[in-house]
């Protein structure tokens, strides 16, 4: 075991270099086999990295507790090391590549002494897809290896696909835990070298280098160069009772509802409607020969937010995580099961919290960390879309942007055309969540939900979007949604989750040339009678009006906020978006 070396000499040479630098006790080449997985799970338990859960209740499930100082992405220590600061742009932290390589190599020197260095080969995307990418992640964390096995198409097939050609393209990822010290934590991207180096963390998006690092930051850079899109979007299929199927892709910021929307279960009134999941976090999209936009999910699993997940809110996620799941930072019950805030039923009388301390319902602190996560193979999803492995991807009828906004943003509106839609995406904002370290609940601009994930200058990213529209002879329509609008007492006005089907149906109707709407300065907004609200509980006509309202005072503030954001990005904002801003101001009478 651990001997499965690839034939490609460029890979062997690079791994050898990293071995000389980090000086591990041994090198373990992963093949992705069942036997290897069993061995690593056993080894993880032996080392105390994993806790085996009650196998009768949760077959194949394990619990990992991360260091309490290491529970989320660290945006302030995430860097784009492009040759110039201008290439990284106004929204990224930048460091000069040679300087950063020097600093990181200093930190990695001897870092794996006495430890095993794992080499993880993986494919992102359906292997036959023209968009598929191959990566290798070197790591000294068993937890990372086991997670990568769930989240990617990991193992010998990746090395085989790379082949022996010396110039075959692959992503080089190096990860070391070091001493899990926030002061020595850096997530560095070298887009021009297709290289990622991550040190000092053992958590999620910081260390599963396939995910945010490769599939978004590096891929967005490649996508710009090669004429496609790498986006922080879920992809779902929606089939109506008459058998017509549409696909939509939706960008919501971290912890703002992508996984839930991707697995939505329609309310009883929508008998015959079926929702299927292609992806829950990332979409790679290219233009098809028919001039439509086609999307693939580069991932193989879901790294989902646990708190709030229940049979009531997301039964498909609950069924998925009944087995083969790696839980991180949830609570442990006395019978070897897991628990979190928002799970169905009563809290356990006693539990061990995410830090490993005794917990009872009387405890002041949460049992599960707000950013606790599950990692589960997508094959466990009962509503996995049958086209998920299609190398060509699925045709996208609508693109949806959305954020967590307690006010201002109506439940849904439609952009007038492509450029207006790009403006809507570019100016979207959301309240911050526990998915990244820092304050929670503050409204910040998060263009296309890509603020932390765009691997190059955001102005060029906007320009790339603007250029993509005219290349699509049959472009998707663009919408904005907000499930999170609140009343004066701070209560959500919209029940969300399954009831989001009502909004999705309107979106699909609009794509099919049906569906009524009222015109407003910000776009087309449905009137209450344009939405199918039959069987909707707890939303009075007055609440419905509040959900759909475009309030002039709120929009005056919103317009100003969007303007301030664009100012902060100058001189990089494309003229087309400044035009859109002026036109919106005009429509709002400002």
- Which residues lie near ligand SPV (CB under 6 A)? 73, 204-205, 211-212, 254, 281, 303, 435
Spatial strand order of the sheet with 51-52 comes to 51-52, 62-64, 326-328, 373-377, 301-305
Which does residue 419 touch among Mn ion, ligand GTP, ligand SPV, none (CB within 5 to 8 A, set by kind)? Answer: none
Pick the piece of the chain touching Mn ion (CB under 5 A) from 218-226, 247-255, 464-472, 565-573. 247-255
Peptide linkage before 437 cis (omega within 30 of 0): no
Q: Is 511 a residue of the active site?
A: no
User: Which residues have C-beta within 8 Å of that of residue 17, sequence separation ≥ 6?
Assistant: none
154 vs 305, beta carbon nearer ligand GTP: 305
Give CA–CA dist 94/103, Å, rounded: 14
Pick the piece of the chain touching ligand GTP (CB under 6 A) from 5-13, 188-196, 307-315, 419-427. 307-315
381 vs 562, beta carbon nearer Mn ion: 381
Which does residue 205 touch among ligand GTP, ligand SPV, Mn ion, none (CB within 5 to 8 A, set by kind)? Answer: ligand SPV
Total site size for ligand GTP, rule CB under 6 A: 22
From residue 437, how far is each of 68, 182, 238, 306 by CA, in Å?
12, 11, 35, 17
539 vs 588, beta carbon nearer ligand GTP: 539
Pick the piece of the chain touching Mn ion (CB under 5 A) from 45-53, 145-153, 275-283, 384-392. 275-283
Give CA–CA dist 95/316, Å, rounded: 42
Sites for ligand GTP among residues 243-272 (CB under 6 A)? 252, 254-260
Pick the piece of the chain touching Mn ion (CB under 5 A) from 246-254, 329-337, 383-391, 511-519. 246-254
**Residue pair 278/235 in contact by the 8 Å Cβ criterion:** yes
User: Binding ligand GTP by CB under 6 A: which of 145, 416, 429, 435?
Assistant: 435
232 vs 420, beta carbon nearer ligand SPV: 232
Closest contact distance (angstroms) between CB of 256 and Mn ion is 9
**Is residue 281 a contact point for Mn ion (CB under 5 A)?**
yes
Query: φ and ψ at 344, to 5 degrees?
Result: -60, 155
211 vs 502, beta carbon nearer Mn ion: 211
Which position among 30, 61, 188, 256 bears the catalytic label? 256
Closest contact distance (angstroms) between CB of 190 and ligand GTP is 24
Closest contact distance (angstroms) between CB of 226 and ligand SPV is 24
Sign, Cα dihedral of 6, 12, 14, 19 = positive
Sites for ligand GTP among residues 470-499 (CB under 6 A)? 483-484, 492, 496-497
Instruction: Give residue 251's region: left, alpha or beta (phi > 0; psi -120 to 50).
Output: beta
Closest contact distance (angstroms) between CB of 322 and ligand GTP is 18
Give CA–CA dist 524/545, Å, rounded: 15
3-state secondary structure of 312: helix
**Residue pair 24/117 in contact by the 8 Å Cβ criterion:** yes
Closest contact distance (angstroms) between CB of 589 and ligand SPV is 37
393 vs 452, beta carbon nearer ligand GTP: 452
Sites for ligand GTP among residues 270-299 (CB under 6 A)? 280-281
Q: Which helix (H) or strand (E) holds 577?
A: helix 575-587
Instruction: Give residue 447's region: left, alpha or beta (phi > 0; psi -120 to 50).
Output: beta
Closest contact distance (angstroms) between CB of 255 and ligand SPV is 7
66 vs 254, beta carbon nearer ligand GTP: 254
For 279-301, letters b (16+ CB in 10 Å) and e give: bbbbbbbbbeeeebbbbbbbbbb
**Residue pair 178/112 in contact by the 8 Å Cβ criterion:** no
51 vs 283, beta carbon nearer Mn ion: 283
**Residue pair 568/90 in contact by the 8 Å Cβ criterion:** yes
Closest contact distance (angstroms) between CB of 211 and ligand SPV is 5
53 vs 435, beta carbon nearer ligand GTP: 435
Which does residue 200 touch among Mn ion, ligand GTP, ligand SPV, none (CB within 5 to 8 A, set by kind)? Answer: none
Closest contact distance (angstroms) between CB of 523 and ligand GTP is 21
Beta pairing class for 229-231 and 234-239? unpaired
Site pattern 63..102 for ligand GTP (x: CB under 6 A)? ----------------------------------------
Q: Residue 361, exposed/middle/buried by CB under 10 A (0-12, 13-18, 19+)?
A: exposed
- The DSSP code sequence of 255-301 is TSSHHHHHT----GGGTT-EEEEEESS-EEEEE-TTS-EEEE---SE
User: Which residues have C-beta within 8 Å of that of residue 588, sequence separation ≥ 6?
Assistant: 521, 522, 552, 555, 556, 559
* Interface with ligand GTP (CB under 6 A): 252, 254-260, 280-281, 304-305, 307-308, 313, 435, 483-484, 492, 496-497, 500
Q: Which residues are part of the catalytic machinery? A: 256
* Interface with Mn ion (CB under 5 A): 254, 281
């Amino acid at each position: 075991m651990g001997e499965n070396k690839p034939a490609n000499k460029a890979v062997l040479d690079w791994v050898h270099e990293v071995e000389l630098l980090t000086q591990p006790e041994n090198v373990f080449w992963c093949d992705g086999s069942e036997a290897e997985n069993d061995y690593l799970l056993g080894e993880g338990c032996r080392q105390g990295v994993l806790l085996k859960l009650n196998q009768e209740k949760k077959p194949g499930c394990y619990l990992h507790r991360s260091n309490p100082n290491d529970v989320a992405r660290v945006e302030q220590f995430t860097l784009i090391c492009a040759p110039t600061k201008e290439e990284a742009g106004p929204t990224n932290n930048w460091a000069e590549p040679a300087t950063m390589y020097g600093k990181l190599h200093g930190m990695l020197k001897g870092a794996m002494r006495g430890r095993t260095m794992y080499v993880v080969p993986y494919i992102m995307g359906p292997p036959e897809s023209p968009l598929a990418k191959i990566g290798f992640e070197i790591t000294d964390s068993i937890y990372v290896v086991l997670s990568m096995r769930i989240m990617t198409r990991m193992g010998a097939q990746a090395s085989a696909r790379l082949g022996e050609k010396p110039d075959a393209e692959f992503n080089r990822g190096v990860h070391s835990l070091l001493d899990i010290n926030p002061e020595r934590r850096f997530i560095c991207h070298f887009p021009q070298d297709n290289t990622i180096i991550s040190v000092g963390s053992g958590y999620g998006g910081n260390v599963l280098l396939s995910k945010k690092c490769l599939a978004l930051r590096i891929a967005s850079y490649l996508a710009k160069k090669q004429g496609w899109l790498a986006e922080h979007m879920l992809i779902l299929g929606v089939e109506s009772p008459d058998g017509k199927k549409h696909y939509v892709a939706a960008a919501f910021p971290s912890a703002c509802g992508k996984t839930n929307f991707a697995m939505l279960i329609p309310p009883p009134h929508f008998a015959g409607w079926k929702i299927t999941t292609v992806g829950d976090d990332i979409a790679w999209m290219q233009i098809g020969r028919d001039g439509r936009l086609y999307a693939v999910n580069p991932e193989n699993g879901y790294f989902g937010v646990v708190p709030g997940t229940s049979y009531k809110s997301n039964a498909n996620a609950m069924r998925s995580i009944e087995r083969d799941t790696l839980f991180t930072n949830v609570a442990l019950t006395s019978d070897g099961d897991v628990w979190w805030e928002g799970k169905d039923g009563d809290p356990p009388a006693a539990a061990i919290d995410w830090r490993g301390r005794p917990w009872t319902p009387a405890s002041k602190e949460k049992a599960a960390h707000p950013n606790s996560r599950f990692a589960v193979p997508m094959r466990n999803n009962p509503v996995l879309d049958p086209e998920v492995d299609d190398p060509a991807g699925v045709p996208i009828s609508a693109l949806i942007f959305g954020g967590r906004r307690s006010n201002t943003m109506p439940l849904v509106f439609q952009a007038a055309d492509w450029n207006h839609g790009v403006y809507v995406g570019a100016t979207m904002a959301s309240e911050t969540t526990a998915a990244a370290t820092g304050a929670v609940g503050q409204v910040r601009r998060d263009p296309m939900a890509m603020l932390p994930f765009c691997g190059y200058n955001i102005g060029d990213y906007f320009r790339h979007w603007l250029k993509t529209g005219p290349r699509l002879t049959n472009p998707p329509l663009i919408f904005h949604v907000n499930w999170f609008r609140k009343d004066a007492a701070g209560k959500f006005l919209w029940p969300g989750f399954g009831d989001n089907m009502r909004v999705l149906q309107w979106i699909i109707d609009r794509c099919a040339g049906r569906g009524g709407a009222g015109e407003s300065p910000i776009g087309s907004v449905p009137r209450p009678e344009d939405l199918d609200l039959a069987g909707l509980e707890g939303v009075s006509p007055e609440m419905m009006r509040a959900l759909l309202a475009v309030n002039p005072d709120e929009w005056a503030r919103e317009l100003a906020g969007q303007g301030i954001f664009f100012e902060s990005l100058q001189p990089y904002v494309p003229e087309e978006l400044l035009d859109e801003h002026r036109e919106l101001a005009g429509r709002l009478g400002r």
